[in-house]
Structure 1
Amino acid sequence: MYSGSTTTSEVVAIARERAGVAISTAVIDSIRFAHHEAATLSERIPTYGRSTGFGANKTAVVDEKDSAHGMRLLRSSAVDSGSPLPEDAVRAMLAVRLSQLCTPGAGLEDRILPALASMLNANSLPTIREFGSVGSADLSALCGAALTLLGERPATGPLEPMAAWGKDSALPFVSSNALTIGRAVLAAHDLRQTVDAELVTYALTFTGLSGNPSPFSDASAKGTAAEGAQRFAERMRNIVGADHSPSRIQDPYGLRAFLPSTIGLINAMDKIEELLSRLIVAAQENPLFVYNEDGRGVAVEHSAGFHQAPLSLALDGVKIALAQTVPLSMSRIRMMTEPEYTLLNPFLAVGEESASGVMTIEYVVGSAYGAIHTAAHPSSLATVVLSRGTEEDASFASEGVVQLERAVRAYRSVVAGELVIATRLLRQRGLVPTDMRSATTSDAYEMALSLPQDDSDRDQREDLEAAEGILERLASLGR
């Protein structure tokens, strides 16, 4: 139910599970009244996109009798290119835009909201392509969605076309970064899930290598001076189990520095999730109609809320935080394949002395790290000047979310690779789930034993695929 208080988890459910949407009568009534008030304001205040042209044409006056102005804007701006985006990204875009429009500010017709809800409920979607946004409103994507609602572009399923939109609804509908925000919501969700799975995977590695739990003491955590470090240390003590007999006085960084490295990533995730939770209910339109507590229109603000510099910076922050954690994953993999730490064969191989064991999985993880590392390049440093200099900067948050999506996919491969190797190590040490030092690691190891157990040299693609397939279940243990 849309009531102006949509959450990020609801956006994920709408995008991935096709959860149904409905709009409360109170919201429809408030948007209808806001539309009337916006029209009244626009009659006496010059209003961008209604009484003027668009972009560099903002000084061009639009005749009051020009009823086709809005449709021309939608048609001329609905251009994009590249590969079509996946269904969940498109649904997330529509869910975010519907949520934003439930907060008065756009001043558009209320009939658009139930039409958008119907598009989602019928899963009759627009086709949106990958290139078109520079992080200053996803105009091409939202114009394409508008033309699909209007029947001028085909939907993926049956959809009753709407009557033509006027200038009071065209620009207000598309003045949003809903596609970028929606994709960021999905990517942040997937990253959180993968990090939760990594915490449990780390615990299995830690157990297999008889790690030293000292870095998870409250005093050690306090010494990092990082926000949330002590809470995270307690969480890790519960996951790993406090009763350990370490093999070493001091572990390599792969085990010992897990807390300070990971808390930075968790804090970056918290920051972007908090920002996204505000963005999906924010009225960021340009122009922005301002209303008093009674819903009366009091001002038209020509703003730049659509310039997604804060989101671009938050995306860069989480990508960089992720990139700095992965070398420690590779360190743990190196330890698990090294006889100095395991007292087992190199690469946990069996059979002939020349057997490779899990050697190539390390290369796969290295390849994934390369993708994470390159994706961490700050997209917020890019800019471009467009529309005859009218828009002389761009946030490129749209590119930042593409980088994050790629980084998260690669990170899943990293965690899956560590999980496969940790499970083999525990098996070769002769440990069973009841030997684990916590209920979490016991349950996790039980799950991990569903992975292929043939340690001979063979095709291990299915091992990694199976490991990725249980990450969601592992994540539920790590929360």
Structure 2
Amino acid sequence: MTFVLDGAHLTCEQVDRAAHGSGIALGSTARAQAAWRMAGLLNGPVYGRTTGVGANKDVDTEDTGLDLLRSHAGGAGPTIEAFRARATLVVRLNQLLAGGSGVDPALLPVLAAAVNLGLTPPIRTYGAIGTGDLTALATTALCLLGELPWTRPSDTVRIEAPAGDTRNPSTEAETGTGTGTGTQAGAGTGDTRSWERAEGGPPGTRPGDPVPRFALASVDALPFISSGAATLADAALACHRLGVLLSAATAVAARSFRAIEASLEPLSPVVQRGAEQTEVAAGLRALVGSTSPRRVQDPYGYRAFPQVHGAVLDALGRAERTITEEMNAAPENPLIAGGRAWHNGNFHSARVALALDALRAALVQTATLSAARLATLNDPANTGLLPFLAERPGLSGVMILEYVAHSALAELRHLAAPVTLGGAVLSLGTEDHASFTPQAARSALAAAEPLEIVLACELVASVRALRQRGLPCDLPLDPAMRDRPLDADLDAARGLLPGLVP
């Protein structure tokens, strides 16, 4: 389903939707147009427009913007996945709609069309340190200029006209015609967007496909790339996916509670502190229903669930709020506002890096608790069943799940290493600090897989324990108890996790 970008209300969930194929439409471009008009009236030195960049900030330049793009597009390593590149375009487009860059607003519908056509820039993995995703966005700019090929995924993506645009991109893509301005962008510039047919375009497109182009002016170069959009895209994708998994974790824990008849006393409203902890306890109580406790106190995996899981949800909430604010702001340097250019450091993403470092550390805590519950499910002292939930004495049952879970947990610990302890001095000492937020965001996105595996291990074991105890279980996991490879069970459990979200 298509949603509208307006520069103010983009969410992590919408970034995920757009990354995986949802169409986008443009809201009002008024703020972008105002900044562009204001930029055209500026006098005096303006960083990146009339000067060089970095250590060349005091060097007067003229018409070197395209050289800046060419020199800064040199990333390294493999290209990132198409869904991440698509998310990058969406975040940068939303930031440009927020105003403040001074970029020609005629660019905006072209960028939106690239998203809706499923075209993505070939962004390399390495090249950013948390002071702007220069290599990623310079690569994007060269695709717009036609100097680098767009990458097209194999699946077909719906083509939709931006809101307020009277032109039909899908029709004009077929004919190779159409350079009208539409109603919301390009006023005063002569519209520089075009829709070339793939026969005359770069590799990576099929015959007849449209190839969005935009003739970026020299003064548009730095304003277009002065953003951490690729980092924020990864962070938004990570927050959305982790949010789904952390919600599912409560449903998984509820099955373990029932399987060992854990006491619900630790979930009582009387003992809760703080909003997140209280909410976690209430949600878990509702899912468990009731038990017949066998012990005065259960292991920490049960007794401390509200405290630990509440903490990770609190960290997720802080990270998501921070990322959402950054996606809906103008990170531009200089910022075009109030009749002048304001040179600043808003491109620096220290607050995002700190939030993501805290989130990844919290993930380890909640995953460790899941692995602890898995251990109790294997223990007859807690279940009253055979060791490792085996079919008969001496067999291994689900013993291997503990090894798998701790293998994934070790990876999660590795990904939790804080990036904010690092530092860098670049460009002849002009840029003397870095947050390494891109690394934090990539690690957060990568953390979803091992967390999912840990939770899947617990889910497979808890379902088996419930079945062996003759308790209700409605999940379509293989009911066979014999010793066998459990990889298919884990794959199935991983697929079930999103559906367990309360």
Residue equivalent to 2:499: 473
Distance 2:19 2:420 in 1: 27
**1:439 alignment counterpart:** none
1:153 equivalenced with 2:148 (yes/no):
yes
Amino acid at match of 1:204: R
Please, what TM-score do these two structures have when normalized by structure 1? 0.90
The residue that corresponds to 2:291 in the other structure is 244
Q: Which whole-Å CA distance do the structure 2 matches of 1:211 and 1:82 have between them?
A: 49
Q: Displacement of 1:227 after TM fit?
A: 4.0
Q: Report % sequence identity.
A: 38
Task: State how many pairs are aligned.
Answer: 442
Asked whether the 8 Å contact 1:109–1:168 carries over to 2, the reply is no
The alpha carbon displacement at 1:265 in A equals 0.2
Q: Partner residue of 1:294?
A: none
| 1:192 and 2:276 aligned | no
- Note if contact 1:424-1:453 (Cα within 8 Å) is conserved in structure 2: yes
SS in 2 for 1:82: strand
Q: Aligned in 2, Cα 1:393/1:159: closer, same or farther, shift over 3 Å?
A: farther
Which residue in 2 is equivalent to 1:33? 34
Residue in structure 1 matching 2:308, options 261, 269, 276: 261
Which residue does 1:442 correspond to in 2? none
Matched, 1:453 2:479: yes
Q: Is 2:419 aligned against 1:379?
A: yes
Partner secondary structure for residue 254 of structure 2: helix
**2:461 and 2:59 mapped to 1: Cα distance?**
65
- Is the deviation greater in 205-214 or in 340-349? 340-349
Q: Is the 8 A contact 1:284 1:305 kept in 2?
A: yes
Aligned to 1:99: 94
Q: CA shift at 1:161, angstroms?
A: 4.9
The aligned residue for residue 337 of structure 2 is: 290
Give, in angstroms, the shift of residue 299 of structure 1: 2.4
The alpha carbon displacement at 1:163 in A equals 4.7
Q: Residues 45 and 300 of structure 1 are in contact (CA less than 8 Å); yes or no, is this contact kept in structure 2?
A: no
- Cα separation, 2, equivalents of 1:81 and 1:424: 46
Q: Cα RMSD between the aligned structures?
A: 1.3
Match of 1:274 among 292, 307, 321: 321
Deviation at 1:379, TM superposition (A): 0.6
Matches within 5 A, 1:307-322: 307-322=348-363
Decide which structure has greater helix share.
Answer: 1
Once residues 210 and 139 of structure 2 are traced to their aligned partners in structure 1, the CA distance between those partners, rounded to angstroms, is: 15
The aligned counterpart of 1:49 is 48
SS in 2 for 1:40: coil
Go from structure 1 to structure 2 and tell me whether the alpha carbon gap of 1:159 and 1:177 turns closer, same or farther (over 3 Å shift): farther
1:427 Cα deviation from its structure 2 partner = 0.4
Q: Please name the residue that 1:436 is paired with.
A: none
Q: Which letter does structure 1 place at the counterpart of 2:15?
A: V
Q: Does 1:19 align with 2:60?
A: no
Q: Distance in 2 between matches of 1:430 and 1:420?
A: 16
CA separation in 2, counterparts of 1:149 and 1:406?
29
SS in structure 2 at match of 1:205: helix
1:38 counterpart letter in structure 2? A
Change (3 A) 1:112 1:163: closer
Write out aligned runs for 1:75-94 (5 A). 75-94=70-89
* 1:115 equivalent in structure 2: 110
Structure 1 residue 70 displacement after superposition: 1.2
Aligned twin of 2:59:
60
**Superimposed CA distance per residue, residues 24-50 of structure 1 (whole angstroms, 9 cap, x where no aligned partner):** 3x31x4422321211212xx2311001
1:3 to 6, 22, 41: 6
Structure 2 unaligned segments of length 5 or more: list them: 152-204
SS across alignment from 2:100: coil
CA distance in structure 2 between the aligned counterparts of 1:135 and 1:246, rounded to whole angstroms = 51
Partner amino acid, structure 2, of 1:270: G
Structure 1 segment 386-401 matched on structure 2, within 5 A: 386-401=426-441
